[in-house]
Amino acid sequence: MIRTLSILLAAIAAAPFAMAVQSAPAAAEAPLAPAAARQVAETLASALERLFVFPEVGRRYAATLRAHAAAGDYDALGTRTALAEALTRDVQAVQAEGHFRVFPAPGAQGPAGGGAAAAARPEIEEARMLAPGIAYLRPTIFSGSPDELGRIEHFLEEAEAGGARTLIIDMRVHRGGGLDEMDAINRRIFAEPARLLVMDTRAAASAQLPFQEGPTLRRADAPAEIVRREHWAVPRAGGSPLQQARVFLLVSGYTVSAGEHFALALQRTHRAMLIGAGTQGAGNFGTLAPLGEGLAAFIGIGRTYDPDTGQGWEGAGINPDVEVPAPRALVEALIRSGVAPEEAERLSASVAPTGSMELRPGRPVPHPRPRRPQA
């Protein structure tokens, strides 16, 4: 089943940066009155105060926006585009937040709200036996769609039938999404139930956009203002040959959100070795908040973190166990799987993803995050 909040996150992860405010000629937009700009700022301040995952930070965001509005800093901006840029900048200046943006609301009129999104990538770009005993999967998003889930199940069945001793999950061009695909893979690769990560949500937002709880997402005790859920790996009945397979997960600066969730879950349980470059650092999940005047904001209402340390990856990213340039990650995984270097180069080139594997433009640069010791 598709989880409502996860799909909101998937939509933002798939194209939030295409939706992020872009420059447009001011003459093409209707003018924005000073009073309207101040009201948008107040609406955003109230939403951050009530919904942002860290209550104290939300109050700081709100206080900063109100101070700017009271000083008249938004009065002369004149357009929705300029206001959205200023609000985003002022919030990020208080504390960087990987998902937060103010942008034209879906369906808003005017050039700042239009423009074609980047061409959508297939949900799964590669799913095959790449070499004898080596299964290779490259998803680009976890949409929760029946088609994607069906393809992953079919791939895993083929990997089992093909005697896969190594499973390589390539998340280097992954845009985020939900939990369903992770759960499908985890059912095959974990031999015992395992607590993966913890997800905290502001109570006011959780009541509005609930997750679907069950065996893999369990409610846990938390402070009154927080709803806490634990994400678990639950093996399928009867087991799977892939429980004995060696797992490599490839990451890059492009790997974001749910892709980072999956990476940290498999890293902290020592079920996979992460190879590549540090990830993007967008660990807070959230929802769209309408602000009026054709604007909306993506507000982080929850965070996911390592139960061992209490630390997430927002603004920090996840460090791989083996750091190599992202385009070289598959070569490294293949060599570690026993493939000769020349053949590893050839196989990697045959399935190389197109597009950038670098940190997306406009995102905060991740802060260094301590590495986890390898098993």
In what order do the strands lie in the sheet containing 134-139? 124-131, 134-139, 166-170, 246-251, 273-276, 322-323
**Domain-located, residue 116:** no
Shared-domain flag, residues 128 and 254: yes
Model pLDDT for residues 295-319, shown as the tens digit of each residue:
999 999 999 999 999 999 988 999 9
Query: Given this model, what pLDDT does residue 208 score?
Result: 67
Shared-domain flag, residues 181 and 273: yes
Residue 127: what are its φ and ψ, rounded to 5°? -155, 95
Percent helix / strand / coil, the chain, rounded to 5: 35, 20, 40
Shared-domain flag, residues 149 and 225: yes
Q: Residue 111 pLDDT > 80, yes or no? A: no
Domain range for 216 is 124-350
Reference 250, options 145, 330, 340; nearest CA is: 330
CATH number at residue 173: 3.90.226.10
Shared-domain flag, residues 336 and 243: yes
**Beta bridge partner(s), residue 292:** 295
Taking residue 276's Cβ as centre, other Cβ atoms within 10 Å add up to 32
Query: Which pLDDT band, with edges at 50, 70 and 90, does 191 fall under?
Result: very high
Shared-domain flag, residues 98 and 149: no
**Domain-located, residue 364:** no
**Domain-located, residue 117:** no
Tokens of 132: 């004898």
Query: Given this model, what pLDDT does residue 3 score?
Result: 42
Query: Given this model, what pLDDT does residue 107 score?
Result: 58
Shared-domain flag, residues 19 and 165: no
Query: Given this model, what pLDDT does residue 225 score?
Result: 84
Model pLDDT for residues 349-358, shown as the tens digit of each residue:
999 998 889 8
pTM metric for this prediction: 0.81
Shared-domain flag, residues 43 and 129: no
Shared-domain flag, residues 17 and 159: no
SS3 367: coil
Domain boundary among 107, 141, 175: 107
Query: Given this model, what pLDDT does residue 355 score?
Result: 82
Q: Residue 108 pLDDT > 70, yes or no? A: no
**Domain-located, residue 137:** yes
**Domain-located, residue 236:** yes
Q: Residue 15 pLDDT > 60, yes or no? A: no
Structural domain total, the chain: 2
Shared-domain flag, residues 227 and 189: yes
Domain boundary among 107, 133, 156: 107
Shared-domain flag, residues 150 and 70: no
Half-sphere exposure of 294 (CA within 13 A, CB side): 19
Shared-domain flag, residues 198 and 131: yes
Domain boundary among 78, 107, 136: 107
